[in-house]
Chain A
């Protein structure tokens, strides 16, 4: 039986790990390779690493750092951030990464998804869709770290990404990021029913139970940052992983 996929998600910015609230208010978490080593020792089942700085600064992925992090991780690692061409995707795979994640590039150069999938297989291409709910309750996809509205609905976007060759879709609710407010069950349920690829729910995880619960709404995986990075009511930085997922 397939085990529940409860995935820590880490954010990189200028070579440092940070955590955000609603894509703002960056808090420093620690050294990336060291944090990955800690999580790896705690038997995480997979890991997602997103460089949120490389989109803003229009930088190439930090290949040396990615290689160093990949060497620390004995479980599958998805990397996203700054991948705009097939060449940069190739370099990231060569760092020892299994899956690459496209966000803004998936919108701006959708053919890149098909190009990468035709060489590395659809299971190697993940798309992250950052979503915001408007006043009428319509879910729209945003790019450029949540700053630009594409005016495309999440459902339409998800269907298009699947057709292009995306193998997994991270659905991230911007306004729940780092808030512990819980996943958006309606969003996950709605999109999951529209596509045949796995959906990774992200944004707002309250606790372990909340992660398990979203799986019953059609998510194939639940990703979270804050609950693995902070402890106590004052949100002190403490890297933890309270499951024994693959034992």
Chain B
């Protein structure tokens, strides 16, 4: 090689190496923290869960004064199922008499680490999920307002330069202000770093069937391109007046991908080929099926799935047990689906399962068809939750804390996710977290 061409090619190579990646945050390079895995799935499980019927495996023993205990979450925890008064399964002869078969050959407890007793100070659904996603308790914030502190989606997008379609928040419905949790109103973060929200039971349910399914897919070059050009001209004129709209920053390609995903989901729904769990007879399980499709299509860095069916416990304890059992079935399906159907996420995903809060120690006076009494969420028992974590680098079969030894808090989840995804120092340096400790720091 001649000297001149050597200098030319070597300068090009060194320039290519040194040209920095400009992230939305303005920093030149992505955060250098090592990732434990490239994907995190957080399951907000599942609308207010008592420790007694979940990790403590007391079934009816501790709630209805009926001597039957056992484990109804056998994908999550080790332990034998109850043998008496089975009401939580599917119907064979009578409602609920047939437990749903276990999906995972090894429970999440055996594969990962379990925090047996954690604190969740916010005992409302919106406030609880808000605390999980922001690492803060919003004591001064009410419903129908976006979070005041940045969500983990925003931290990830700002500090790791993640695209909008790499962060998804999938909710079981649009109630309880849940759609507001896709981004905060914090001045340093906000809409531009938000997640894509989807409530598939609405989008692909009867409302969507009627008003979204028949949508045209415009040709990207011949139709969409001139339409966007005209729209951008109109927006520029309008922007000159100083007005703009919140925008989570999906690029045109990402928007096209989302629209094509919606179209595809309607087709798969019609064909009955959505990746639903083997049993899919309630809203949570239906949501999980579409969440699996989102993960398969977009391979998100962070997926948050909010389940809420167990909230029926206010007035129907039997349906609560059934929903709890199904949420466990759904979690087993998510983990199994990731490992067996999404090659780029298999062995490269960390899953965390945490209820947003617990439920009361004492029941209310509302009885259901089995004469079981319901439970609200307002007392100190409502502040007790568990957390299960499984994935690369997570200790297997490790149990932390106990009923008499509370370790961990839901506000530790945000720094935990940040640590897994390699941006913990950035998130801590924002100075906006209630606790800088991840759950790993508490082991």
Question: Are both chains from one complex?
Answer: no
